[in-house]
């Protein structure tokens, strides 16, 4: 397929890409040949208005039809074939195997919501009438869920498929009955166009109103602002940096009508290695942590960025094994040259911090590649050095050596919110693990025992979110079937005849 570089506005490909922006081939570090048109103010307005018009019919679509639509999107994504894989690889530098896996996950997510809709499980709560109750009769009340309206979704740089055009937020919003206005990520606009075509085909095949989905391309910040401040936008999903996320949050705060903002803004995913684990296999756990850190060149939201443990005789073995494993890692291409530059600057900055020691670095590579780094510090330094509390996006990890359990508890109190934490322990550590689990639970969305944080299971019991800045709204997940709740809200129907009740709430 030839990339048009245009915006998909309610079924029409619109805009002139001839003087537009280009993505960068991540591996070659040079501009790609395709150019893309920044969406105009009018195009964005039209996309949102058409989405709101489509809301009327789309929300009334039987759940089973919405399920079919989601499945069809998955089929159409698969039908794009190798072009999607090669485009995503070129735009992000992620390896082919990873992108193939991510495509599978994306289609799987769509399928999970299809199953949920088909199961009819999402029906609500019923309380029957009781005409004889004293002092007043009890009415029949039924709690159901309504879709919020048009949802604005922002694609993530690091998951060009699973957290982008037809990714988790899009799938859960469409499942909930909400049209989507999608802002593509400027780092992978070609991938976005291909996936948007798949969605557009699915809309046609399922004979839906074409306003249900629009794709907005652009490198211009005013575009994002126009989307999040529009009165017809009723919720926003975003995955990206804390800096950009907080700009959007402030614009959303200034709206006349408050709306939910689901921003995933960063996480250091602390790893706690307990004494028993050290004693059992300090080299093994060191190698496993480095392997997890190196996944996607450290560019996973759940990358293990901070490792904490209490100093003991096994510590030296652990740190030696970890340093050796880091030293063996090859430099790797990062998602964009800008991300690579930011990463390199952060690692250089950490090397200047007093009380912070560089234990090991990976092999070096060309300028736009990321080179792994392992640092170590103590609680006192961690406490007084705000830079160490921030996520460094890439394959950099910080060891925090602690003196005792009291210091570990104090360290936990200093942490910001995270998506995940892991406790690596044996049965011998059970009391200490219990103490740490109770404390760290309040700083994470997912608490893991003896497994690595990278790799998120897509299922009903998953929670991908957590206290700020892991999420701007810790009450919901962006992964798994519970994510449908992001874009719905409760409504109680009282004393309603069957004819006026939604299908799932009828007697």
Q: Is 301 a catalytic residue?
A: yes
406: left (phi over 0), alpha (psi -120 to 50) or beta: alpha
Does 474 engage in binding with a copy of itself (CB under 8 A)?
A: yes
Does 146 engage in binding with a copy of itself (CB under 8 A)?
A: yes
Are 7 and 21 in contact by the 8 Å Cβ rule? The answer is no
Q: Where are the beta strands (DSSP E) in 436-487?
A: 444-449
Catalytic residue among 242, 301, 391, 396: 301
Q: State whether residue 375 is helix, strand or coil.
A: strand
Among 462, 470, 478, 484, interactor with a copy of itself by CB under 8 A:
462
Contact region with a copy of itself (CB under 8 A), list: 40-48, 111-119, 211-219, 475-483: 475-483
Among 267, 297, 344, 476, interactor with a copy of itself by CB under 8 A:
476
Does 467 engage in binding with a copy of itself (CB under 8 A)?
A: yes
Positive or negative, the CA dihedral 338, 106, 452, 409 is: positive
Does 450 engage in binding with a copy of itself (CB under 8 A)?
A: yes
Among 282, 323, 463, 478, interactor with a copy of itself by CB under 8 A:
463
Does 141 engage in binding with a copy of itself (CB under 8 A)?
A: yes
Nearer to a copy of itself, 13 or 493 (CB): 493
What are the beta bridge partners of residue 333?
A: 369
Nearer to a copy of itself, 16 or 130 (CB): 130
Q: Which of 391, 376, 383 is nearest to 308 (CA)?
A: 376
Does 125 engage in binding with a copy of itself (CB under 8 A)?
A: yes
Does 149 engage in binding with a copy of itself (CB under 8 A)?
A: yes
61: left (phi over 0), alpha (psi -120 to 50) or beta: beta
Distance of CA 421 to the CA centre of its chain: 16
Contact set for a copy of itself, span 86-105 (CB under 8 A): none
Distance CA 301, CA 287 (A): 20
The phi and psi torsions of 479 (rounded to 5 degrees) equal: -125, 140
Distance CA 195, CA 74 (A): 10
**Residue whose tokens read 């408050």:** 258
C-alpha distances (whole Å) from 268 to each of 252, 301, 424, 473 are: 26, 8, 16, 18
Nearer to a copy of itself, 191 or 271 (CB): 271
Distance CA 72, CA 208 (A): 12
Percent composition of the chain: helix, strand, coil (DSSP 3-state, to 5): 45, 20, 35
Among 108, 449, 503, 506, interactor with a copy of itself by CB under 8 A:
449
Among 136, 243, 352, 386, interactor with a copy of itself by CB under 8 A:
136
Catalytic residue among 34, 43, 242, 264: 264
Among 158, 271, 292, 433, interactor with a copy of itself by CB under 8 A:
433
Output the smallest distance, CB 340 to a copy of itself, in A: 29
Which x/- pattern, by CB under 8 A, does the window 240-279 give for a copy of itself?
---------xx--x---xx-x-------------------
Nearer to a copy of itself, 285 or 335 (CB): 285
Does 461 engage in binding with a copy of itself (CB under 8 A)?
A: yes
CA angle 241, 245, 249 (to 5 degrees): 165
What are the beta bridge partners of residue 104?
A: none
Q: In the numeric block, which tokens belong to residue 124? A: 């609500």
Are 147 and 176 in contact by the 8 Å Cβ rule? The answer is yes
Nearer to a copy of itself, 327 or 504 (CB): 504
Q: In the numeric block, which tokens belong to residue 74? A: 């998955």
Output the smallest distance, CB 79 to a copy of itself, in A: 23
Are 396 and 305 in contact by the 8 Å Cβ rule? The answer is yes
Contact set for a copy of itself, span 363-392 (CB under 8 A): none
Q: Is 264 a catalytic residue?
A: yes
Measured between its terminal Cα atoms, the distance across the chain in Å is 50
Among 473, 503, 506, 507, interactor with a copy of itself by CB under 8 A:
473
Among 16, 330, 494, 507, interactor with a copy of itself by CB under 8 A:
494
Interaction site with a copy of itself (CB under 8 A): 60, 124-127, 136, 138-139, 141-143, 146, 148-149, 249-250, 253, 257-258, 260, 417, 423, 430, 433-434, 437-438, 441-442, 444-451, 455, 457, 459-463, 465, 467-468, 472-477, 482, 485, 489-497, 499-500
- Catalytic positions, written as ranges: 264, 301
């Amino acid at each position: 397929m030839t990339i048009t570089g245009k915006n998909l506005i309610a079924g029409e490909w619109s805009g002139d890409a001839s003087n537009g922006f280009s993505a960068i081939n991540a591996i070659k570090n040079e501009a790609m040949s395709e150019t893309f048109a920044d969406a105009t103010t009018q195009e964005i307005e039209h996309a949102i208005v058409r989405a709101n018009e489509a809301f009327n019919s789309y929300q009334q679509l039987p759940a089973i039809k919405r399920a079919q639509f989601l499945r069809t999107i998955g089929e159409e994504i698969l039908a794009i074939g190798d072009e999607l894989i090669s485009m995503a690889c070129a735009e992000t530098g992620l390896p082919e195997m990873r992108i193939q896996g991510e495509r599978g996950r994306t289609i799987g997510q769509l399928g999970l919501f299809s199953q949920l809709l088909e199961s009819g499980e999402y029906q609500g709560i019923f309380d029957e009438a009781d005409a004889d109750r004293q002092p007043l009769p009890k009415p029949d009340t039924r709690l159901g869920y309504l879709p919020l309206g048009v949802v604005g979704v922002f694609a993530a740089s690091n998951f060009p498929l699973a957290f982008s055009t037809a990714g988790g937020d899009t799938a859960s919003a469409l499942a909930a009955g909400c049209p989507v206005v999608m802002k593509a990520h400027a780092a992978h606009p070609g991938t976005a166009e291909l996936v948007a075509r798949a969605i557009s085909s699915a809309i046609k095949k399922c004979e839906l109103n074409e306003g249900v989905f629009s794709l907005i391309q652009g490198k211009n910040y005013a575009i994002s602002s126009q989307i999040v401040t529009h009165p017809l936008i009723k919720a926003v999903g975003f995955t990206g940096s804390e800096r950009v996320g907080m700009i959007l949050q402030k614009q959303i705060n200034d709206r006349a009508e408050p709306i939910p903002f689901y921003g995933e803004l960063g996480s250091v995913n602390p790893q706690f290695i307990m004494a028993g684990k050290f004693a059992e296999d300090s080299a093994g756990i060191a190698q496993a942590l480095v392997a997890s850190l190196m996944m996607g060149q450290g560019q996973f939201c759940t990358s293990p960025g901070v490792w904490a443990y209490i100093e003991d005789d096994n510590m030296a073995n652990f740190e030696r094994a970890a340093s050796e494993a880091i030293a063996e890692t090859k430099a790797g291409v990062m998602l964009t040259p800008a991300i690579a530059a930011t990463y390199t600057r952060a690692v250089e900055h950490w090397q200047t911090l007093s009380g912070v020691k560089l234990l090991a670095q990976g092999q070096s590579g060309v300028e736009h590649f990321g080179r792994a780094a392992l640092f170590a510090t103590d609680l006192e330094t961690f406490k007084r050095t705000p830079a160490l509390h921030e996520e460094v996006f890439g394959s950099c990890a910080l060891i925090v050596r602690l003196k005792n359990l009291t210091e570990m508890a104090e360290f936990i109190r200093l942490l910001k919110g995270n998506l995940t934490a892991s406790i690596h322990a044996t049965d011998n550590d059970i009391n200490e693990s219990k103490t740490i689990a109770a404390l760290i639970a309040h700083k994470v969305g997912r608490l893991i025992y003896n497994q690595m944080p990278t790799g998120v299971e897509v299922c009903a019991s998953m929670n991908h979110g957590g206290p700020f800045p892991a999420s701007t709204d810790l009450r919901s997940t962006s992964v798994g079937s519970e994510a449908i709740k992001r874009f719905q809200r409760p409504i109680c129907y009282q004393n309603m005849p069957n004819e006026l009740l939604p299908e799932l709430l009828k007697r």
